[in-house]
């Protein structure tokens, strides 16, 4: 393993480079002359980087690429070098360092942090996470999982997300920026292109980029997906997350045309739409992060159709609202008779977080012809409990949706009075086994449900 270190680190960031899609990644080759003056590159070993990390004072905060771009190799170096540190990752996957002395921090809990007693959960919409890093949780070290250098830049590939903001926040306080440069990481454009002068250390690591396999569609997901697809208007701007139900929705749209993608993330379902000619060829596929199959990553590599933007742009409700007919589909663990959705807690256990759900619900409602959908199975088979409850036992992740859709039907929510909303949810979304109970509990809440 080789490490490249730049001798002189430039001052705080003054800008973020966004590469026009037609440039196919020909990003800026250098910064201003005064920033380049005196800079050199030299190769050092990973062991030398560990010594640099070990010299950091106190208990540094380390912010790393999340989701399926977790930079495991450099995180192992950090783990070996630092007796104590704070680790901030969005949707952290299994395999991250885990021991006494490491405190986890995140606004969105992944399988690598879920249930950990050393976890500090920060409730925060995804669009506001960059402000969280700037105002409340400034990073001392930022670790990127990037492509190898190309045209004076590295590309953040499948995970742009909050990382440009993390770089800015770290450099504003003299922190370190480290890139784990991997030939397996696809080169993507837009805000994903990070000039080399914004990076202090670059480590070349050749390892597979983590994949997210798509399972075979099940009957319930297929049913829900078909119901949702019938609600999608022509030439809609689509935002769908990951999972069996979003995948089923996309499969049910393969006969449509003129769709646009403006989303916080996408996976193989979008690739299927592209192959089938369902997407508007004049509009880039815009997102902040992605994960899926090796085929998806190969297709994304140096593809001018794919534009990866920082999350402040993709998830800004004002920016979302500028797109026509935004159709937003998000999941939930529970919904209640007031039309509130919970996607954060399973019982009293923290499960995930707000993510981008409230950003896109608000943005979709302000979009001309926009709609926001919560999709979920009506019954939790393992626990034998209803996913529709009288009132949420925990804080809501989002509310005021257009529709709540389950395998039982489509419940219209927005534009109805509260009693009609609740009646629609009981009659059309709730599992038949739960409807009598929900009617009884609804009456106790002052709703004259039939």
User: What positions carry a catalytic annotation?
Assistant: 264
Q: Are strands 153-155 and 193-195 parallel, antiparallel or unpaired?
A: antiparallel
Sequence-ordered list of residues with C-beta below 8 angstroms from that of 128, at least 6 positions apart, any chain: none
- Which letter, b or e, does each residue of 170-203 get, where b requires 16 or more Cβ atoms within 10 Å of its Cβ? bbeeebbbbbbbbebbbbbbbbbbbbbbbbbbbb
Beta strand residue intervals within 301-361, DSSP E: 306-308, 326-331, 334-336, 341-342, 345-346, 349-350
Structural tokens at position 305? 């159709």
* 378 vs 374: CA distance, rounded Å: 12
Closest C-alpha to 371, from 320, 337, 333: 320
Q: Residue 387 half-sphere exposure, CB side, CA atoms within 13 Å?
A: 24
Closest-CA residue to 387 (of 426, 359, 443):
426
What's phi and psi for 278, nearest 5 deg?
Answer: -85, -15
Whole-angstrom distance, CA of residue 145 vs CA of residue 161? 12
């Amino acid at each position: 393993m080789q490490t490249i270190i730049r001798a002189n680190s430039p001052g705080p960031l003054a800008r973020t480079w966004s590469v026009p899609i037609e440039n196919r990644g020909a990003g800026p080759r250098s910064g201003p002359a005064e920033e380049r003056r005196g800079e050199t590159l030299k190769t050092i070993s990973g062991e030398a980087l560990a010594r640099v990390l070990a010299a950091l004072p106190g208990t540094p905060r380390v912010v790393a690429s999340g989701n399926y771009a977790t930079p495991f190799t450099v995180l192992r170096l950090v783990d070996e070098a630092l007796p104590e540190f704070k680790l901030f990752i969005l949707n952290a996957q299994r395999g991250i360092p885990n021991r006494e002395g490491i405190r986890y921090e995140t606004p969105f809990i992944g399988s690598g942090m879920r249930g950990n007693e050393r976890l500090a959960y920060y409730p925060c919409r995804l669009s506001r996470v960059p402000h969280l890093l700037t105002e409340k949780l400034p990073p001392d070290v930022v670790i990127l999982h990037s492509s190898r250098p190309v045209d004076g830049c590295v590309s953040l590939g499948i995970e742009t997300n909050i990382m440009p903001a993390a770089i800015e926040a770290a450099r504003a306080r003299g922190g370190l920026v480290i890139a784990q440069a991997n030939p397996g990481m696809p080169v993507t454009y837009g805000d994903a292109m990070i000039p080399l002068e914004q990076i202090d250390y670059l480590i070349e690591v050749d390892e597979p980029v983590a994949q997210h396999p798509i399972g075979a569609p099940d009957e319930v997901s297929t049913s829900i997906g078909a119901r949702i697809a019938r609600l999608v208007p022509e030439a809609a701007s689509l935002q769908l997350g990951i999972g069996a139900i979003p995948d089923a929705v996309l499969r049910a749209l393969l006969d449509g045309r003129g769709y646009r993608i403006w989303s916080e993330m996408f996976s193989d379902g979008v690739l299927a739409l592209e192959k089938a000619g369902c997407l508007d060829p004049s509009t880039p596929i815009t997102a902040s992060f992605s994960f899926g199959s090796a085929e998806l990553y190969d297709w994304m590599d140096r593809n001018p159709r794919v534009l990866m933007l920082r999350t402040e742009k993709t998830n800004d409700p004002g920016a979302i609202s500028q797109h026509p007919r935004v159709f937003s589909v998000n999941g939930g663990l529970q919904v209640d008779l007031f039309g509130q959705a919970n996607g954060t807690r399973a019982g009293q256990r923290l499960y995930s977080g707000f993510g981008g759900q409230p950003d896109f619900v608000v943005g979709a409602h302000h979009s001309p012809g926009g709609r926001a959908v919560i999709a979920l199975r009506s019954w939790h088979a393992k626990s034998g409990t209803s996913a529709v409850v009288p009132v949420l036992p925990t804080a809501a992740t989002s509310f005021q949706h257009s529709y709540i859709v389950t395998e039982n039907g489509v419940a219209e929510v927005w534009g109805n009075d509260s009693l009609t909303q609740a009646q629609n949810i009981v009659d059309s979304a709730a599992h038949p086994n739960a409807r009598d109970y929900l009617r009884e509990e609804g009456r106790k809440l002052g709703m004259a449900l039939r």
